[in-house]
Amino acid sequence: MNLFSVGRIQPSKEDSCIFFKDVSANHYRKLVVNDGLLVGVILYGNVADGSWYFQLIQNKTNVSDMLDLLVFGEAYCCSQVA
């Protein structure tokens, strides 16, 4: 089982959650965002973007401009971060 978890995974009232689920690929993602900052991540199945999400949390990167693509990972957002 491939599982990655970092940060606050149980959202508070002030947090927003972004979900992605692909049952056929056995793939699940939950991102917790608070005031433009990624504060928690759970990845199940494909965990390749785990270190990138961890870096966003650690660096306190504002992810407001990439919320629509954030759940799809670094490959979809790299032009947004650069």
Q: What is the pLDDT of residues 13-64, one digit of tens each?
A: 999 999 999 999 899 999 999 999 999 999 999 999 999 999 999 999 999 9
The Cα–Cα gap between 17 and 31 comes to 6
Q: What pLDDT is stored for residue 77 in this prediction?
A: 85
CA distances from 38 to 12, 26, 52 (A): 13, 23, 11
Q: What pLDDT is stored for residue 1 in this prediction?
A: 80
Amino acid at 76: Y
CATH number, span 3-81: 3.30.390.30
Q: What pLDDT is stored for residue 78 in this prediction?
A: 77
What are the sequence ranges of the domains in the chain? Answer: 3-81
pTM, full prediction: 0.90
